Chains A and B, each alone.
Chain A
Amino acid sequence: MRKLALSDEILLTVEKPARYIGNEVNMAVKDIKDIDIRFCMCFPDVYEIGMSHLGIQILYDMFNRREDTYCERVYSPWVDLDKIMREKNIPLFALESQDPIKEFDFLGITLQYEMCYTNILQILELSQIPLYAKDRTEEDPIVIGGGPCAYNPEPLADFFDFFYIGEGETAYDEILDLYKENKKNGGSRIDFLRQVANVQGMYVPMFYEVDYNEDGTIASFHKTDEAVPDTIKKQVEMELSETVYPEKPLVPYIKVTQDRVVLEIQRGCIRGCRFCQAGMIYRPIRERDLEFLKQRAYEMLKATGHEEISLSSLSSSDYSKLQELVYFLIDEFRSNGVNISLPSLRIDAFALDVMSKVQDVKKSSLTFAPEAGSQRLRDVINKGLTEEVILKGAMDAFLSGWNRVKLYFMLGLPTETLEDVEGIAILSDKIAREYYTIPKEERNGRVSIVSSTSFFVPKPFTPFQWVRMATSEEFLERQRFLHGKMKEQLNYKSIKYNWHEVELTMLEGVLARGDRRVGKVIYDAYKAGCLYDSWSEYFKYDAWMTAFEENKIDPLFYTSRERDLEEILPWDFIDVGVTKEFLKREYKRAISEKVTPNCRQACSGCGAKSFGGGVCFEGGNK
């Protein structure tokens, strides 16, 4: 029998023991004796969330293609097991071999959202690895961070040995080869890190230093070691149809959030919404080849037995061969009971046709993300969706039998006025009014509109990276105002208004644009019991506030301060391709309510062309 790190008694005591036993279908099995490098990949959240992440599946598969490397996985132990592991001093283990992570060469942690930062410290502490990189010895694993939050690594800089900035497919082979070579030559940890620092995209915080002005802003960011570069240029995979992609994804036993085959059809986005970090850092948009996707869809469905396949991208409608791909999936797999899920699809005739084929019209809903309530504000954020398009899409859908609509908005966008906020209520009502223009006998019951607002958090590497984020009070005031306006609408009974919690947003704002000094706050908050912050039932706002106070750090300095365009931002040393000049230009255009065309309409010279591929070299853009 496979040995397990936890006893039967523990496993039968905790919730969902399947989170900790591994052995899922398609799990990589290797003999440690034949391995040079042990890599543990971590998603710092609960198993069901972590197992749903495509990036880890891609890297897991890629690492395990190397004969000299065994890549295993770990996720955050849930709070019940966390307690037991601390009491019994059980070291955190990897799911595959069930061996302690502290015995590994690498621990790679993906940084998908800011609210998982305390979970990172949990992983390190339970693994019995020193939390601060400076305290680690030759015996400890090298701790790597990657993923979207690595684009502002500074709040986490003290906890990581290095950050991999950019897409994972490209440079890991080189890094692992360097590691092996260094080990063979008897080199030390620091020798290796110095070599890593010279690989494009790798940021080794220990070789850099920050000085601050009296007002708390950054005076300078500079290297402390001659042998490392000044700026870190992100890694990009330009050949998305020739690179690694799992043929046999893992199939968990318990139901996870993404219980389906995920097919990433393209990476990047042409739209240029000014609030969206993904739309900037993944530039340029690169499509995967249609035949590649068909082949992978077939293989992955066969190898997993999943009953659903989902297309993944930032905006599926912009994939140039979408119709061909979707009709292929329907024709090929629908008769075998495979469900096809199409998120982020613009509502048009094609979308309605496809949706009517793959969903039960009576049960499914249409989703629009206007993000802002007025055309003026949608121009500010460069969201190309107009009221006309929304109303027409909704009407077409109503005529085809739909009667449920979901709308997503943000509150607190730059330049927002109460009129813009009221626009959310008015637009929600207009959609309902549109429905009731249909003669009663042709209607399909009552219409249901669900409007949700989240709070806008400015993110690094967006045209809004300088803007002041609204305070909690301002957010709540707008939320209350909108709630009141919703009730004034003619069809208020058909409209449901959902909102988000404000405290979490505030903290996200600090961590998103924080600097190195925020690291101590994260440490103290964690030591005070903060964990699973993204789970509202475990979020301890007061403990966080105490940590800020004790470190004499004002969270409003990071959130509600308009930054000067010339200020040195904590993430300025990272080069994402999109230039600071472009972001400034976009910011100014936003303030003057000017829309910028998308990448296929016209090139706006963002800088991503320097990567030498993707949309920048399609048709007219050459």
Chain B
Amino acid sequence: MKARVKFSKTGTLKFIGHLDVMRYFQKAFRRAQIDVEYSKGYSPHMLLSFAAPLGVGLTSDSEYLDMQLLSADSEEDMIKKMNEAMVDEIQVVDFKLLPDTSKNSMSIVAGADYKVSLKDGYSFEAACDEQGKKMETSLNISNFTEHFRAFLQKEQITILKKSKKSEREVDIKPLIYITAFEAEEFQKKGGSFIANSVAETFENPCVVYMQLATGSVNNLKPELVMEAFCQAEHVIYNPFAYQVHRMEVYADQGTEEARNLVPLNDMQ
């Protein structure tokens, strides 16, 4: 039988990469004696698959993995059993059995919610132009929200995408579905709200919530949005300055015309 597990990842475990998270779950499920099905052959491995790998340095309230089970207890008992074998910085928050016909979570990911915060100890610093001269910028910590809002008003948000073969300008604006600066505002607009979020909180007030296209068709990383913002504001983009936290991962159950994003553990 198929099942989907939702888990959170936070704290120091943000430094553990995706491959190691997979290894972690294999060992954790063995400790918890979860009856996972194995592949055949001399080196059998657990039949697990992860929805959308989280990068190193990111935290999350909603990661998903699908598994093949030979047997299972009630959803409540499964969550309890799994959490007895978890470390405190990775916790199972939901478990659901799926119909056998359901699609693999990896293949259906279409969107995700993020909370991006400026970490404490960082601020905005003017970038240099091509001649190496410091550019003008009026962005600072107290007017961040205002500036970000204005940035989103632009007709197009272009960014230079570099691939091995070419460089091209892409407009990322259509891939930004929802944005907000307060948790309630984000929820009102259709984003997720997490009551007991594991997201780190900072003294620094600069926070932005975003719902972005995610998955194999269209994919936009929140880091890229921040980079585009910094470019537009003439400040240096420092990848270490932002804590990116994933709040939810969605599948699209709508039509081609109208999107209908549903959390991976709420699908009908």
Contacts and interface: CB of A to CB of B under 8 A. Distances in A.
Interface of A: 1-2, 4, 8-9, 11-13, 17-18, 21-23, 25, 251, 253-255, 301-307, 336-337, 339, 359-360, 363
Contacts of A337: 38, 44-46
A301 B85 CA distance: 13
B31 A304 contact: yes
Interface string B4-40: 0000001111011100100110111111010000100
B23 A255 contact: yes
Interface in B140-194: none
Nearest to A339: B43
A8 to B, nearest CB: 6
Interface string B31-62: 10100001001111110000000001100000
A11 to B, nearest CB: 5
Given A2-B12, A307-B26, A8 B240 contact: yes
B44 A359 contact: no
A4 B28 contact: no
Interface residues of B, number: 34
Given A12-B240, A23-B12, A1 B27 contact: no
9 contacts: A1-B200, A8-B57, A11-B15, A12-B240, A21-B12, A253-B13, A253-B24, A304-B27, A305-B27
Which 8 pairs show the lowest CB-CB distances between chains A and B?
A: A305-B27, A305-B30, A360-B42, A305-B31, A17-B15, A9-B240, A21-B12, A1-B11
Nearest to B42: A360
B10 to A, nearest CB: 8
A339 to B, nearest CB: 7
A307 B85 CA distance: 15
A12 B239 CA distance: 10
Nearest to B32: A305
A17 B43 contact: no
B31 A303 contact: yes
B234 interface: no
Given A1-B12, A1-B200, A4-B12, A359 B28 contact: no
B89 interface: yes
B119 interface: yes
Q: Which of B12, B13, B16, B45 has the most CB of A within 10 A?
A: B12
B1 interface: no
Interface in B110-140: 119
B5 to A, nearest CB: 16
Given A1-B12, A337-B38, 12 more contacts: A1-B10, A2-B12, A8-B57, A8-B243, A17-B15, A253-B23, A303-B31, A304-B31, A305-B26, A307-B27, A337-B45, A337-B46
A23 B46 CA distance: 24
Contacts of B267: none
Nearest to B15: A17
A255 B85 CA distance: 19
Nearest to B33: A302
Contacts of A21: 12, 15
Interface string B226-249: 000000000000011001000000
Contacts of B23: 253, 255
Nearest to A14: B15
A344 to B, nearest CB: 21
B87 interface: yes
Contacts of B200: 1
A261 to B, nearest CB: 11
Contacts of A17: 15, 56
Highest count of chain B CB atoms <10 Å: which of A8, A18, A305: A305
